[in-house]
Structure 1
């Protein structure tokens, strides 16, 4: 699962010159005027987050094919990261970590005590090093530990761990990418192909981390290509053919490597990598959803709020789904609610979860503002 670029307002572009300036400001590159927000990218991020919440509510495997939200989120994050890295790398990486980590700490300040109250013993299976594992709630270089009781809420933190590693690796990745963009994009699929066909990664946290990085590497690099204008300079017909080929290969691999009969791409890394890469190519090159972005004021306002609170929505949406269950149980005790509300419907749970997420936007979301260096506001 989703998540998003967790960046806030993109950094303004500095003036550049020379070979890299021509590459970054390529003719036809769709960059927001004056270095401002790109409403289309905000819309994609909001759609990806809505899809993540929908998937985790209903569990529909077909959603991973209809809109591969994780691939989209990593691509957007890569684009924003490439933009930020037009400044010196070290402060950029520091700034990204500052935007990511405090919201995670806020979640940990709630979840860790709650897990302890519900019987979690961190050192039960890891005697002698459980304190070190708890430090992963501070800097998640591996998945933060959790209990079976909170598995639903902690299971989404793999995205935070993967995002952290992509941020740390981005200065090197961007330097390599800009030397030979097309070749690097093609080669970027090699790690996931090798992991799924030749070398099986080890079980456990290390294997999961390597697999996730390999799966979404191409999407992250496509974000670089979008930022540098490479996609817009590539003929539309060629992009369409490449996207169709990648998605066809992903679909074929999915059909022949189903997990328990399911077509869920989240369980099939190579299919996820191929399908997501093709899907992202189409979204970033042709901008099929760009029509409504910024043209309908209420929709634009909602998109801005969700996009600016992307970290909060992603981190807390599973908590909202967990809390919706006892809340609906309480509603069953009220005769009027029992008679008038569809309390046994998953759609009703979905609606309740979004109400709870809306509560999280102005509350834990304030931490996201502080982390990003913005003036705290209940609604961004």
Structure 2
């Protein structure tokens, strides 16, 4: 989200309406509602566990009992002592989740099309979420699904209250589909003024459907693991080559679900040890083929959408993410990577802990932080010393201010994740308990 994309001009505060439109058409996270352009130009995506407990990523909401640190983006159970992480924590997956969230914020700040090629955050987060979901389904499915909803929905409601209220104040008139702000089985509606804030909800909606369907998906996967894993790429091929799906909410859900289905099933494969049993040469060959096809398709079709950004080209996103995430998860299983060395660096380890325990909060509030960074920096121009010595026109400066605001939201709003997870509210995971009263 460059200064130009935000409608920024030195010394002048950009209008909200202008920001919303610029951002919506620049990035591929919007949907075709409320006058927006459809996410998929031709048919109609883009900015969480295990024993050793592998948590879920951005935004997963189901931490392992008192010891888990990470949700998807959201699962978050904080570690009490950074120097002695909870038994069973897998810092490799925790680190991947933290890097994925950082990449999401980076993409939404700078809009670099190559970000998804370097690190396909959403595919990685869905893969991590699938792994934790498979582990959790050792318990009764209804209990697991209810737990996931309990951890995801309260932070979503808390955040949504402010977003919906702001849109109402700015003239938005909702209709019956306001119900999607209660349970996002479909894309929640919103005004064009607030699109930059609510367009990221596609991820929570897609994650919710994966959670609801996981008991069935896991049963089918275990009937024939490898065939089901590779056939999970079939839906996105059908949508691209045979039938583009219906318009509206259902169509968007089908596209997103199909794009990341392989990554979710890959999480099952990792949890059940299927990847570890594959020969290295076969994994490298299959991953390279998927990466090659996804990369080729993105560049070969960039003329159709004006960019090679994977978030604008679902088929390329699906195959690139498939190859990338397969390599990451196979390497973790085959070489037994756990990043246990991270505990030797307490501050870095604590950062990873915070990112995992506050993944839902970071994911939901990061766009609002970037929105607020623009008028805040605009005020800096009124201070001569700031204008002289600070790089106010630099996107990197906005990136830094955005993270300061994200940190503030983590402090002010992160406790909701603790309450949702039936834990003692804390200002910062592993820190002092938050005071909920005077």
With the length of structure 1 as denominator, give the TM-score of the two structures.
0.89
* Superposed displacement of residue 237, structure 1: 1.9
Q: Which runs of 5+ in 1 are unaligned?
A: 14-32, 123-129
Mapped pair 1:375 → 2:375: no
Q: Distance in 1 between matches of 2:217 and 2:305?
A: 36
* Superposed displacement of residue 36, structure 1: 2.0
Q: Distance in 1 between matches of 2:147 and 2:281?
A: 38
* Superposed displacement of residue 9, structure 1: 2.3
- SS in structure 2 of the partner of residue 233 of structure 1: coil
Contact 1:320 1:354 (C-alpha < 8 Å) held by counterparts? yes
* Superposed displacement of residue 294, structure 1: 3.5
Residue-by-residue CA offset, 1:39-85 (whole Å, 9 max, x unaligned): 11110000000000000000000001110000001001101111111
Mapped pair 1:93 → 2:145: yes
Give the counterpart of 1:338 among 380, 384, 387.
387
Give the counterpart of 1:280 among 305, 318, 325.
325
Give the counterpart of 1:6 among 53, 60, 70.
60
Change beyond 3 A, Cα 1:6–1:38: same
Contact 1:6 1:310 (C-alpha < 8 Å) held by counterparts? yes
Mapped pair 1:271 → 2:316: yes
- SS in structure 2 of the partner of residue 231 of structure 1: coil
Q: Distance in 2 between matches of 1:162 and 1:197?
A: 22
- SS in structure 1 of the partner of residue 411 of structure 2: coil
- SS in structure 2 of the partner of residue 343 of structure 1: coil
| Structure 1 segments (4+ residues) deviating >4 Å | 288-292
Give the counterpart of 1:194 among 238, 243, 248.
238
- Equivalent in the alignment of 1:321: 370
Contact 1:11 1:83 (C-alpha < 8 Å) held by counterparts? no
Q: Distance in 2 between matches of 1:352 and 1:332?
A: 15
Q: Which runs of 5+ in 2 are unaligned?
A: 1-45, 48-56, 68-84, 430-438
Contact 1:99 1:372 (C-alpha < 8 Å) held by counterparts? yes
Mapped pair 1:225 → 2:273: no
Q: Distance in 1 between matches of 2:359 and 2:148?
A: 14
- Equivalent in the alignment of 1:42: 94
Contact 2:284 2:327 (C-alpha < 8 Å) held by counterparts? yes
Q: Distance in 1 between matches of 2:347 and 2:257?
A: 37
* Superposed displacement of residue 262, structure 1: 0.8
Contact 2:90 2:338 (C-alpha < 8 Å) held by counterparts? no
How many residues end up aligned between the 2 structures?
353
Cα RMSD, aligned residues only: 1.9
When structure 1 is superposed on structure 2, of 2-11 and 69-78 the one drifting more is: 2-11
Residue-by-residue CA offset, 1:296-327 (whole Å, 9 max, x unaligned): 22111101101110000000000000010111
- Equivalent in the alignment of 1:177: 221
Q: Distance in 1 between matches of 2:342 and 2:185?
A: 35
- Equivalent in the alignment of 1:106: 158
Contact 1:49 1:69 (C-alpha < 8 Å) held by counterparts? yes
